[in-house]
Structure 1
């Protein structure tokens, strides 16, 4: 799951699946005591990206990399405790803040439900699980070496602001590359400084859920992300928009989302002599079917998605497809 676009597709879809209970049965989320859910998803992915760590050798910096097909498996899960009054909750589980970046992490959080039925969440992801990238992505015709990427995150969410259908999220992430060697083989120290990827990332999203009737809803969202990287050629502003249709059936739920975002970078990339600009268009689907085969507390889950990121620099173009299915258990 090292492709950036594939990570967004699979994990935003997983996030949609996780959101179904909040749309269909919010009261169950606040039953006093210990509860949780766990799911294992397995399936197929196709990626085409220079940052897919299966593509350890590239013969050109003017292409988006070779396509790769692979099987995938990933877990989702949350353990939570709710007080007897049903208005305070602590939890730990899959870090939904980092899921859109295609990585898994542990998140610890606290939720407070207010009298107007709004919910405030404060959460921290300590960055216990690292992902991988290249030490120097810009070397050709030799094996590129991998290094770990560690991300810590703090986020604040205000769901159903003042009892309305508006919600807001703000997140601060710190991303560190263990061995940053971008441009080391072929570029001057000043050019290498422009390529440094260690960064502070500020993310904000405003969303609105419109309930057409008891079983059908539309969710729209806009987002802004500022990445302040150590290298100015890696610093950027990203603007995003989502529209989601959520449909509840008697025993199942379906969510279909269209996503678009646009990124513009601060300074020209010295490797390519121009500024990077990216546009990502993606579509993803999430499906849940309750009590398959009559199994109480079990659900069948399905995810499918496709995304393509177009860039003014061919090296940064990528695409991903994912189809997965699995079972979840709620206790």
Structure 2
């Protein structure tokens, strides 16, 4: 679960194996209004106290009220309705707790395979501490920028297998940390998944995930391997998605700040999303809700993190 709580669209869909891109040519989309509570416990949270007394201390928690008007829009075209340009957040991503803004293009082959290429213009952007480890004065904020590109191959050759690949760059404007902790980086992400129907209304999707980051600082470079399983289901107007994931991240080198100890993190993510269609018998409207929790347990206390979110809202499809 990525709680940079910038984007949370909170809608659920259990997609059939060979769904068309759209039922008809032209524009389609949805918009959701969501409210809730989110909390983050992290020494890198720029909404927390800018004073740090010791790099051995645990992070403090910061909670906030969330209001997130979000949505997506797509234009489908072609004789076989197999071309689509879109922008927004993908429903299948949201349902598993990964929410990013995308601008992209999809092409569906005769076999049902979909090639989906996109740009993620906001995922690498934000604020961070110029020196997160500063204990002698108030920490100051700096900007993070970067680009991310994604390629998804769904229902490869008409099979239940899919691949999700991404490449991203990150640049920290004022990175006032020791050389071994420099954060400018290139990251590669690979996720393979298999769709296994359990019944006409239920589907299980296990995934294996690999991620690697090559940063300017060796103590910020890592390899990560993990697994995830999602359960999608429907019952009348009710739709739900449950996701659990685990990954282990091992860093390439230690830092002098932490006695040259190589950092190692164990990450657990739990996520649940729910949708009730035709809420109050309103056509095209649905009630939506989610709850998510993530924790990162590091062998270096400074890097321990946790976050949660609970939200409800309404979604309108057009």
What TM-score do you get using the length of structure 2 for normalisation? 0.91
The equivalent of 1:271 in structure 2 is 257
Question: How many Å apart are 1:141 and its aligned residue?
Answer: 5.5
CA distance in 1, matches of 2:168, 2:92: 9
Mark the runs of 5 or more structure 2 residues left unpaired by the alignment: none
Note closer, same or farther for the CA distance 1:329–1:97 as it changes in structure 2 (3 Å cut): closer
Structure 1 segments (4+ residues) deviating >2 Å: 8-11, 21-31, 73-76, 94-100, 102-107, 125-130
Mark the runs of 5 or more structure 1 residues left unpaired by the alignment: 183-191
Q: Secondary structure at the match of 2:110?
A: coil
Question: How many Å apart are 1:322 and its aligned residue?
Answer: 0.9
- Does structure 1 residue 144 correspond to structure 2 residue 139? yes
More helix by share: 1
Question: How many Å apart are 1:111 and its aligned residue?
Answer: 0.3
* Aligned 1:68-217 pairs, distance under 5 A: 68-85=62-79, 86-94=81-89, 106-127=101-122, 130-140=125-135, 142-182=137-177, 192-217=178-203
CA distance in 2, matches of 1:23, 1:141: 56
CA distance in 2, matches of 1:73, 1:216: 31
Question: How many Å apart are 1:104 and its aligned residue?
Answer: 7.4
Question: How many Å apart are 1:25 and its aligned residue?
Answer: 9.4
Question: How many Å apart are 1:161 and its aligned residue?
Answer: 0.7
Q: Secondary structure at the match of 1:276?
A: strand
The equivalent of 2:28 in structure 1 is 35
The equivalent of 1:258 in structure 2 is 244
- Does structure 1 residue 318 correspond to structure 2 residue 305? yes
CA distance in 1, matches of 2:263, 2:94: 24
- Does structure 1 residue 61 correspond to structure 2 residue 55? yes
Question: How many Å apart are 1:42 and its aligned residue?
Answer: 1.5
Note closer, same or farther for the CA distance 1:99–1:277 as it changes in structure 2 (3 Å cut): farther
Q: Secondary structure at the match of 2:220?
A: coil
Note closer, same or farther for the CA distance 1:256–1:103 as it changes in structure 2 (3 Å cut): closer
What TM-score do you get using the length of structure 1 for normalisation? 0.87
- Does structure 1 residue 329 correspond to structure 2 residue 313? no
CA distance in 2, matches of 1:282, 1:246: 17
Q: Secondary structure at the match of 1:162?
A: helix
Aligned residue-pair number: 314
Q: Relative to structure 2, which stretch is displaced further, 89-98 or 289-298?
A: 89-98
Question: Residues 288 and 312 of structure 2 are in contact (CA less than 8 Å); yes or no, is this contact kept in structure 1?
Answer: yes
When the two chains are superposed, the root-mean-square deviation of aligned CA atoms in Å is 2.7
Question: Residues 6 and 321 of structure 1 are in contact (CA less than 8 Å); yes or no, is this contact kept in structure 2?
Answer: no
CA distance in 1, matches of 2:92, 2:233: 24
* Aligned 1:20-31 pairs, distance under 5 A: 20=13, 22-23=15-16, 26-27=19-20, 29-31=22-24
